[in-house]
Amino acid sequence: MDDGPLDEGLHYWVPFTPNRSFKKDPRLLVRAQGMYFWNARGERLLDACSGLFCCALGHGRPEILDAVSRQYRELDFAPPFQYSHPDAFELAGMLARVTPADLDHLFFVNSGSEAVDTAMKIALLYHRSRGEAERQRFVTRERAYHGVNFGGVSLSGMVRNREAFGSGLPGTLHLRHTWLASNRFAPGQGEHGAELADDLQRFVDLHGAGTIAACFVEPIAGSTGILVPPRGYLERLREICDRHGILLVFDEVITGFGRTGRAFASDSFGVVPDLMTMAKALTNGAIPMGAVAVRRGIYEAITGAAPEGAIEFFHGYTYSAHPLACAAGIATQRIHRDEGIFERAAQLAPRFQESVFALRRHALVRDIRGYGLLAGIDLEPDAAPGVRGARAIQRFFDAGLVVRVTGDTLILAPALVAEPEHLETLFEIVDRVMTSL
Ligand SMILES: Cc1ncc(COP(=O)(O)O)c(C=O)c1O
């Protein structure tokens, strides 16, 4: 086997990455512990984005390692259709205790993308089970990211994620996004823009309420740069959905499990959806897993519509509720509970947000948005969109920081267990690198 230097000819196709240039000098992470990664040269890098919003409890938690290795010895796999295992029930029960209101039925999947597609199917089936099968349209939003499967791509509002892949699901309607110049540099929820939710009413007026199954939104749009909902916006979406029998779905894949300072963004904003998707921090990134939380009435309507003994929902994945993922999920939920992780995030958030908004002093910063332990910092584009962003990833990496950059927007989402000194280091590096971008 040739173990020469990495080059373009390598076999691994790296996702969402410019492969040819990346492979000339790949940013390889070879070890992780706590708040840090180590690169191939043995240098330590602070993780400013919890892996990819997953490792909210820091890397390498021994409790999760023990739970997963114990599970592998005990039960490596159990068929998820027509059979199950106790940990699937236990994890569902634990999640039901932290999800809002009566979103207390859990369907397990393996990723955020699968959670979104599953939620779309549940919405369709719910209406069908109540004799409203003509409700087939989905409403979503510009600048949304709902994963990469065909359902999620249809819902997505990011042109590069859509344009190459055909027309997607017919009848998908996009609300306007919620970025407004008048909210620039507004901490938390901006004052302006609640009326953008009225786009949903316009779709109802144009297409008829009876054609719309569900409205999907990320309570805070994550992947397009942390767009915090304007004050009153989510409330208004909720009202319009209620008025017209439309299900409201919150995609909490990024915002779930303490990122906003409460268990879910739904709690932080005081708006309860009908379905909620989650993934990422559910297992602290240790084993892939996602889930859809479903209101009890929706579960009961669907299961009640099928004859006793018949399968109610023709859907599921070979790895739904995988025993190793359940073990990681249970261990993660225990840490959330026992260490008061959501409260801890809430305590750390003001200090984090203060440092984020102080970055405004850099001339190339065009806007800053943030909530909880989540922030987006727009940089002035260079010659072409994304050029400065790409340069930023490398410069931060060289300076010892792993960040997420989308276009020319820097995204910060440190682990919820970060200590104040980690934040100091993080912002010291951001400040320093910002002057050289
Ligand atoms: C809001 C949202 N939904 C869905 C997804 C897709 O999740 P996954 O990459 O696990 O498929 C993501 C990923 O970032 C996301 O942010």
From first to last of its 437 residues, what are the pLDDT tens digits of the chain? 455 555 556 899 999 999 999 999 999 999 999 999 999 999 999 999 999 999 999 999 999 999 999 999 999 999 999 999 999 999 999 999 999 999 999 999 999 999 999 999 999 999 999 999 999 999 999 999 999 999 999 999 988 888 889 889 999 999 999 999 999 999 999 999 999 999 999 999 999 999 999 999 999 999 999 999 999 999 999 999 999 999 999 999 999 999 999 999 999 999 999 999 999 999 999 999 999 999 999 999 999 999 999 999 999 999 999 999 999 999 999 999 999 999 999 999 999 999 999 999 999 999 999 999 999 999 999 989 999 999 999 999 999 999 999 999 999 999 999 999 999 999 999 999 999 99
In which residue are the tokens 């890397």 written? 59
Distance between CA 47 and CA 58 in Å, rounded? 9
How far is the centre of ligand 1, averaged over its atoms, from the C-alpha of 142 (Å)? Answer: 16
b vs e for 341-371, b when ≥16 Cβ sit within 10 Å of the residue's Cβ? bbebbbebbeebbebbbebeeeebbebbbbb
- Cα(127) to centroid(ligand 1), Å: 25
**Nearest atom of ligand 1 to the alpha carbon of 147:** 6
Q: Which atom of ligand 1 is nearest to the CA of 251?
A: 1
Pocket flag, ligand 1, residue 373 (CB < 6 Å): no
The torsion angles phi and psi of 248, rounded to 5 degrees, stand at: -105, 125
Cα–Cα dist 122/31, whole Å? 39
Helix (H) or strand (E) holding 369: strand 365-371
User: Tokens representing 135?
Assistant: 């409700």
CB of 156 within 6 A of ligand 1: the answer is no
Helix (H, G, I), strand (E, B) or coil at 60: coil
Residue nearest (by alpha carbon) to ligand 1 atom 8: 112
Domains and CATH numbers, the chain: 19-61+340-434 (3.90.1150.10), 65-338 (3.40.640.10)
pLDDT digits (tens, 9 = 90+) for 253-300: 999 999 999 999 999 999 999 999 999 999 999 999 999 999 999 999
List, in sequence order, every beta strand (DSSP E) within 150-263. Answer: 172-175, 212-217, 247-251
Cα separation, 314 vs 296, in Å, equals 19
CA dist., res. 331 & res. 21, Å (int): 39
317: CA distance to ligand 1 center in Å? 17
**Ligand 1 contact via 299 beta carbon (within 6 Å):** no
Q: Angle between the 341-358 and 323-338 helix axes, to the nearest 10 degrees?
A: 80
pTM check: above 0.95: yes
| 254 CB within 6 A, ligand 1 | yes
CA distances from 138 to 103, 204, 294 (A): 20, 11, 17
CB 372 within 8 A of CB 356: no
Question: Are 281 and 332 within 8 A, CB to CB?
Answer: yes
pLDDT (tens digit per residue) in 140-160 = 999 999 999 999 999 999 888
- Count H helices, E strands: the chain? 15, 15
Testing ligand 1's pocket by substitution, the residue of 50, 53, 145, 161 carrying the most ligand atoms inside 8 A of its CB is 145
Which protein residue has the closest C-alpha to ligand 1 atom 3?
146
Atom number, ligand 1, closest to the C-alpha of residue 111: 10
Residue 282 to residues 277, 278, 328: CA-CA distances in angstroms? 11, 7, 8
Q: Which two tokens stand for residue 256?
A: 């779930």
Q: How far is CA 69 from CA 72, 80, 90, 98, 328, in A?
A: 5, 20, 18, 26, 10
pLDDT per residue over 388-427, tens digit each?
999 999 999 999 999 999 999 999 999 999 999 999 999 9
Please say whether the beta carbons of 281 and 59 come within 8 A.
no
Is the C-beta atom of 94 inside 6 A of ligand 1? no
Q: How far is the CA of 160 from the centre of ligand 1 (A)?
A: 16
For residue 41, how far is its CA from the centre of ligand 1 (angstroms)?
31
| Beta strand segments in 53-158, E | 105-109, 137-141
Tell whether the torsion through CA atoms of 383, 387, 388 and 394 is positive or negative: negative
Cβ distance 236 to 270 under 8 Å?
no
Residue 253 near ligand 1, beta carbon < 6 Å: yes
Distance 111 CA to ligand 1 centre (A): 7
219 lines ligand 1 (CB under 6 A): no
For a pocket test of ligand 1, which of 17, 113, 287 has the largest count of ligand atoms closer than 8 A to its C-beta? 113
Per the structure block, which two tokens stand in for 77? Answer: 């796999």
CB 304: neighbour CB atoms within 10 A? 11
